[in-house]
A and B are shown apart, each in its own frame.
Chain A
Amino acid sequence: MSVAEPAVRSRVIEGASPLREAWIAYRLNKPALFGTLLLIAIVAFVIYGTFFFKGDPYEIVWAPQTPPGTEASVPFGTDYLGRDILRGLLKGGGPTLAVGAAAAIITLVIGISLGGVAGFFGGWIDDFLMRVAEFFQVLPALLFAMVVITLFSPSTLTTAIAIGIVLWPQTARLTRAEFLKIRELEYVTAARSIGARNWRIMWKVILPNALPPLIVSATLTVGVAILFQAGLSFLGLDDPNTMSWGLMIGTNRQYILDAWWPVTLPGIAIFLTVFAVSLIGDGLNDAFNPKLRER
């Protein structure tokens, strides 16, 4: 990383394109950089586990409840059946992160399209869509997701969709607020005056300018979705044939008083992932918001 430029060293960010300014500000943010590195490390670990590591996490490899650090072949110990915790962590990360990411994408697609339409058109469409959002916020999210998953057989996709259905209202509200603000600005009027259609104005003119807060919220949504996935698989609602960090906690919880590690380690993995994501989200928030930048 080059910090040689005097402008950067003095922490005053000189005029540049908005994205470049944000990137410079982000680079200076130590917690955010730490979060980024941490997330890269976790993703690398998970990618290795999913695509390159061939072991079976369900295979019984050693004596049950071997503590970590006591046997070289199972460095992280074994669970109540004698399954390797390290293998579980390697193989269980993929579904956890994939569901988190997929759920976040579903949340954003629903939230941005409905919120955008509500904010852009206003009037009764806005009223109606916001009532729908309010309705979904009355339903306790986890419980509603439980109902959806139970009614429609549990699978990774159902879990992602269920999480998306319960999380979208927040994104929709945020998008709506941004659209409401931006649609009054001059460059939108300018776009309209040269004959741009509503559709084009919404997605090509307003949306790019509404992105910064949405990117921040998307990052935080990934974190929430990962926690949600973990909670659902902890309750045994995810597909039991897909190893995930939440499932490891759920299946081992009865034996916690005999062995702490089968529950503690996957929990730390979830914690670190969400922690990294939240540091990145905070960093992006500061970077996009010039008022919060250190001067």
Chain B
Amino acid sequence: MGSIAYIARRLLYGVILLAGVLVLNFFLIHAAPGDPAETIAGVMGGATAKMLAEIRTSYGLDKPLVTQLVIYLEHIAHGDLGMSYYFNQPVMELIAARVGPTILLVLAAQVFAITSGVAMGVFAARKPSGPLSAFIAVLSTIGYAAPVFWTGIMLVILFASIWPIFPVDGMTSARFTGGYFAYVGDVLYHLVLPAFTLAIIFLAQYSRLSRASMIDVLGADYVRTARAKGLSESKVVFKHALRNALLPIITVAGIQFGNLISGALLVESVFNWPGMGRLAFDSVLRRDYPTLLGILFFAALMVVVANLLTDLSYRFADPRIRTGGR
């Protein structure tokens, strides 16, 4: 199968998945106890009788369920995710303002976790019972067992009162002056701790995985051949072995994207990072369902896009998939 046909098929599949999320959203609203109009307006949103009547007409709540579903999907196809009665703003605008910081946080954590996880795994694999291997074992235990929001709070305590070198609150300094580059620098400076906190969980997994995968690959015949040819150790490790050891990492990194977003929700809440997690938290407290369901949709969209990119990078990293077919 050609690459283009393959990508097209994956794209179509992603669209179907997202449509599924919307249908699920719709049924969740209807399965929730109480009047759907009130659910849409948000129970605590202080919707007036007039608003409720407007919602009933605009969503056709007096019509059969299937018609309602079609109307709901039409709304969304026009970019209308509903209105947040708490924030008094269309949900689309609310989310659009907060998608950027979340993507920034998630990508920074992912990139940091993959690069340092793989680096640690590679070096640990060369001495499977050395100190770095032991460190990875400890790290993966912490990464698995410590609640991420708690790790974040511990870092806040450390960097706010004991060793104040990194900011622990928000995305920019309160009284910020300076040009564009200074602004970017300021954001990156604020990004350090949240991204690091989020990365710890995944750093643990990637380092463990790449250590195991490198140990495996370093024992393979072609690595022995490469060594026998007299190649330098760094060429053997980085050019011959690492490329093959990376494949499982890419797979796992793709699968982890949903968990990364889940983790980001908690980390954003700890560090007051102004992303979708904060918004989700605020809308949960106010029972602002349209916003919450909109966030769920956008988060699913991010996961679908990430899976698509993983697939593509997999094809890029492994020529067998590109040329051989399956």
Interface residue? A253 (CB, 8 A): yes
A271 touches B145 (CB 8 A): yes
Of residues 198 to 222 in B, which have CB atoms within 8 Å of A's CB atoms?
Answer: none
- A residues near B287, Cβ cutoff 8 Å: 150
Interface residue? B184 (CB, 8 A): no
Mark contacts of A142-161 with chain B using CB atoms, 8 A cut-off: 1 yes-contact digit, 0 otherwise.
Answer: 11101110111100000000
Of residues 36 to 94 in A, which have CB atoms within 8 Å of B's CB atoms?
Answer: none
A256 touches B33 (CB 8 A): no
A140 touches B157 (CB 8 A): no
Mark contacts of A118-161 with chain B using CB atoms, 8 A cut-off: 1 yes-contact digit, 0 otherwise.
Answer: 00000000000000001101111111101110111100000000
A139 touches B21 (CB 8 A): yes
A150 touches B289 (CB 8 A): yes
- A residues near B295, Cβ cutoff 8 Å: 143
Nearest-Cβ distance from residue B252 to partner chain A, whole angstroms: 13
6 A-B pairs (CB sep. < 8 Å): A137-B255, A138-B21, A139-B258, A142-B265, A144-B296, A237-B284
**In the docked arrangement, what's the CA distance between A39 and B170, Å?**
38
A150 touches B144 (CB 8 A): no
Closest A-B pairs by Cβ, 10 of them: A142-B262, A267-B150, A274-B145, A151-B32, A140-B261, A275-B145, A140-B262, A140-B258, A140-B299, A271-B146
- A residues near B99, Cβ cutoff 8 Å: none
Q: Given A151-B32, A230-B147 in contact, is the A257-B160 Cβ separation under 8 Å?
A: yes
Nearest-Cβ distance from residue A154 to partner chain B, whole angstroms: 10
B145 touches A223 (CB 8 A): yes
A234 touches B149 (CB 8 A): yes
Q: Given A152-B32, A231-B147 in contact, is the A135-B284 Cβ separation under 8 Å?
A: no
Q: Given A138-B258, A249-B150, A256-B157 in contact, is the A146-B266 Cβ separation under 8 Å?
A: no
Residues of B within 8 A of A (CB): 17, 20-21, 28-29, 31-33, 39, 141-142, 144-150, 153-154, 156-157, 160-161, 255, 258-259, 261-263, 265-266, 269-270, 280-281, 284-285, 287, 289, 292-293, 295-296, 299-300, 303-304, 307
Mark contacts of A259-289 with chain B using CB atoms, 8 A cut-off: 1 yes-contact digit, 0 otherwise.
Answer: 0100110010011101100100000000000
Nearest-Cβ distance from residue A127 to partner chain B, whole angstroms: 13
Nearest-Cβ distance from residue A217 to partner chain B, whole angstroms: 14
- B residues near A215, Cβ cutoff 8 Å: none
Q: Given A142-B265, A257-B160 in contact, is the A134-B17 Cβ separation under 8 Å?
A: yes
Q: Given A150-B287, A152-B33, A223-B145 in contact, is the A135-B17 Cβ separation under 8 Å?
A: yes
Nearest-Cβ distance from residue A133 to partner chain B, whole angstroms: 12
A138 touches B289 (CB 8 A): no
List the count of A-B residue pairs having beta carbons below 8 Å apart.
130
Interface residue? A191 (CB, 8 A): no
B144 touches A137 (CB 8 A): no
Nearest-Cβ distance from residue A155 to partner chain B, whole angstroms: 13
**In the docked arrangement, what's the CA distance between A143 and B21, Å?**
13
Q: Return the chain A residue nearest B266 by Cβ.
A: A231
**In the docked arrangement, what's the CA distance between A234 and B270, Å?**
10
Nearest-Cβ distance from residue A222 to partner chain B, whole angstroms: 12
- B residues near A146, Cβ cutoff 8 Å: 265, 280, 284, 292
In this complex, how many residues of chain A approach chain B with their Cβ under 8 Å: the count is: 40
**Apart from A146-B280, A257-B160, A274-B146, what 14 extra A-B contacts exist at CB < 8 Å?**
A138-B17, A139-B299, A140-B258, A140-B259, A143-B265, A151-B29, A151-B39, A151-B289, A263-B150, A267-B150, A271-B142, A274-B145, A278-B141, A278-B145
- A residues near B145, Cβ cutoff 8 Å: 223, 271-272, 274-275, 278
Nearest-Cβ distance from residue A176 to partner chain B, whole angstroms: 16
The 8 Å CB contact of B144, one of A139, A237, A278, is: A278
The 8 Å CB contact of B28, one of A134, A147, A230, A257, is: A147
B141 touches A143 (CB 8 A): no
The 8 Å CB contact of A267, one of B20, B153, B292, is: B153
Nearest-Cβ distance from residue B158 to partner chain A, whole angstroms: 10
- B residues near A278, Cβ cutoff 8 Å: 141, 144-145
Nearest-Cβ distance from residue A284 to partner chain B, whole angstroms: 15
- A residues near B29, Cβ cutoff 8 Å: 151
**In the docked arrangement, what's the CA distance between A272 and B285, Å?**
30
Interface residue? A212 (CB, 8 A): no
Q: Return the chain A residue nearest B14 by Cβ.
A: A138
Interface residue? A246 (CB, 8 A): yes
The 8 Å CB contact of B258, one of A141, A249, A270, is: A141
**In the docked arrangement, what's the CA distance between A271 and B299, Å?**
28
B292 touches A147 (CB 8 A): yes
Q: Return the chain B residue nearest A141 by Cβ.
A: B262
Q: Return the chain A residue nearest B293 by Cβ.
A: A147
Q: Given A143-B280, A147-B28 in contact, is the A138-B304 Cβ separation under 8 Å?
A: yes
B259 touches A141 (CB 8 A): yes
Interface residue? A227 (CB, 8 A): yes
Nearest-Cβ distance from residue B43 to partner chain A, whole angstroms: 10
- A residues near B299, Cβ cutoff 8 Å: 139-140, 143
Interface residue? A235 (CB, 8 A): yes
- A residues near B149, Cβ cutoff 8 Å: 230-231, 234, 249
Nearest-Cβ distance from residue B284 to partner chain A, whole angstroms: 5
Nearest-Cβ distance from residue B169 to partner chain A, whole angstroms: 11
Q: Given A264-B154, A278-B144 in contact, is the A138-B303 Cβ separation under 8 Å?
A: yes
B150 touches A143 (CB 8 A): no
- B residues near A231, Cβ cutoff 8 Å: 147-149, 266
Q: Return the chain A residue nearest B201 by Cβ.
A: A227
Interface residue? A213 (CB, 8 A): no
**In the docked arrangement, what's the CA distance between A26 and B194, Å?**
39
